[in-house]
């Protein structure tokens, strides 16, 4: 039976595979276009080919496979993360608000993933209007999913400001999501006004999406070494009543209320080696609120 330290590898590969396949697909399309002497495709308007222009060529099967794997892995990454929070292997959602945001993020990822798959099937050469519709659905779905995910992480981090890894995760997601959303808005404007600039932005956004997918690897990896139910809502509420921090609770669970287990040393600045901070925020480890 797998230990808690290795059990997380059963699902952290999902965003890794999605990122690798998406990044590889984009490079294959771009290199093929460049190596072919930058040909102008039938559906191409400017001098620079769009991803969909190259994807509508003889590389369409590769484009479809890449989009399917990416769309499915994006959706599954959010589903698995929600399951881990429900299972108590990631910091649980403490309110209905966070659970609603998580569900909306999953719905957005499903819509975005479906849009990505369908835009690859209905190529821009043969189904121009449908392709652009599904491109819009993909962008909106991913954008909404990113917004809801960042908001969910923000509220969880507000409750548990001692969780340094969680705060880093939502900040990274927020920065990447904001950049991609702003670029997507600019892309929507330039798509019809300045085709070449729009093409450059499309390639940039697509490669940038790889980094957003990779943030879910960081999220899922935070379950490493955490037992089922260890970070459940019930335990966290009990911790709050006892005035106990998350780090102390984890050490108690692992060491049987004795001395801290091997590998959970505390640095001089009060940060434990597992990435949690001791005695941050209020006396119970929660963020202090001003009434």
Contact residues for 238 (Cβ-Cβ < 8 A; gap 6+): none
* Burial (Cβ within 10 Å: 0-12, 13-18, ≥19) of residue 201: buried
What's the predicted TM-score (pTM) here?
Answer: 0.76
What average pLDDT score do residues 31-35 get? Answer: 95
Q: Residue 5: pLDDT above 80? A: no
User: What is the structure's pLDDT at 291?
Assistant: 35
pLDDT band at 230 (very low <50, low <70, confident <90, very high): low
Question: So what's the pLDDT on residue 2?
Answer: 47
Give the pLDDT score at 234: 56
Backbone φ and ψ of 119, nearest 5°: -70, -25
Is residue 84 very low, low, confident or very high in pLDDT (cuts 50, 70, 90)?
Answer: confident
Rounded to whole angstroms, how far apart are CA atoms 170 and 275? 15
Contact 259, 266 (CB under 8 A): no
Ranges assigned E (strand) in 120-185: none
Write down the pLDDT at residue 247.
47
Greater pLDDT, 55 or 224: 55
Res 251 pLDDT > 80: no
Quick check: 157 and 166 in contact, CB under 8 A? Answer: yes
Q: What percent of the chain has pLDDT over 90?
A: 47
**pLDDT tens string 160-206:** 554 666 777 778 888 999 999 999 999 988 888 898 999 999 999 99
Are 85 and 93 spatial neighbours (Cβ–Cβ below 8 Å)? yes
Could you tell me if 46 and 200 are in contact, meaning their C-beta atoms sit under 8 angstroms apart? no
Minimal CA–CA distance to 144: which of 115, 181, 185? 181
pLDDT at residue 68, as a whole number: 97
Binned at pLDDT 50, 70 and 90, residue 231 comes out as low
What pLDDT score was predicted for residue 229? 55
Cβ neighbourhood burial of 286 (10 Å; 0-12, 13-18, 19+)? buried
Q: What is the pLDDT of residue 275?
A: 41
- CA dist list (Å): 218 to 19, 78, 107, 183, 268: 13, 12, 21, 24, 25
Q: Are 49 and 33 in contact (CB under 8 A)?
A: yes
Give the three-state DSSP class for 238.
helix
The pLDDT of 245-270, averaged and rounded, is: 41
Going by C-alpha positions, the residue among 182, 158, 160, 154 that lies closest to residue 248 is 160
Q: Give residue-wise pLDDT tens across range 94-125.
A: 667 878 988 999 999 999 999 999 999 999 99
Chain-centre distance for alpha carbon 236: 25
Judge whether residue 131 has pLDDT over 70: yes
């Amino acid at each position: 039976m797998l230990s808690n330290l290795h059990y997380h590898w059963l699902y952290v590969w999902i965003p890794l595979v999605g990122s690798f396949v998406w990044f590889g697909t984009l490079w294959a399309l771009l290199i093929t276009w460049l190596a072919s002497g930058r040909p102008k495709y039938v559906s191409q308007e400017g001098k620079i080919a769009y991803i969909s222009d190259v994807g509508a060529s003889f590389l369409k099967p590769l484009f479809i496979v890449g989009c399917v794997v990416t769309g499915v892995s994006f959706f599954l990454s959010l589903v698995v993360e929600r399951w881990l929070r429900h299972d108590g292997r990631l910091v649980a959602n403490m309110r209905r608000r966070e659970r609603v945001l998580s569900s909306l993020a999953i719905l957005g990822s499903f819509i975005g993933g479906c849009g990505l798959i369908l835009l690859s099937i209905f190529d821009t050469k043969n189904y121009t209007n449908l392709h652009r519709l599904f491109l819009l659905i993909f962008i909106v779905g991913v954008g909404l999913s990113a917004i809801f995910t960042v908001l969910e992480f923000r509220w969880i981090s507000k409750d548990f400001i001692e969780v340094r890894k969680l705060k880093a995760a939502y900040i990274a997601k927020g920065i990447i999501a904001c950049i991609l959303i702003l670029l997507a808005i600019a892309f929507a404007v330039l798509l019809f006004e300045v085709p070449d600039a729009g093409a450059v932005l499309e390639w940039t956004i697509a490669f940038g999406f790889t980094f957003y997918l990779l943030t879910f690897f960081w999220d899922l990896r935070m379950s490493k070494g955490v037992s089922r139910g260890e970070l459940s809502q019930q335990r966290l509420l009990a911790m709050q009543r006892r005035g106990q921090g998350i780090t102390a609770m984890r050490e108690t669970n692992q060491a049987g209320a004795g001395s801290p287990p091997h590998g959970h040393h505390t640095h001089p600045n009060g940060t434990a080696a597992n990435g949690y901070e001791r005695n941050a925020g209020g006396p119970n480890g929660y963020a202090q609120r001003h009434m």
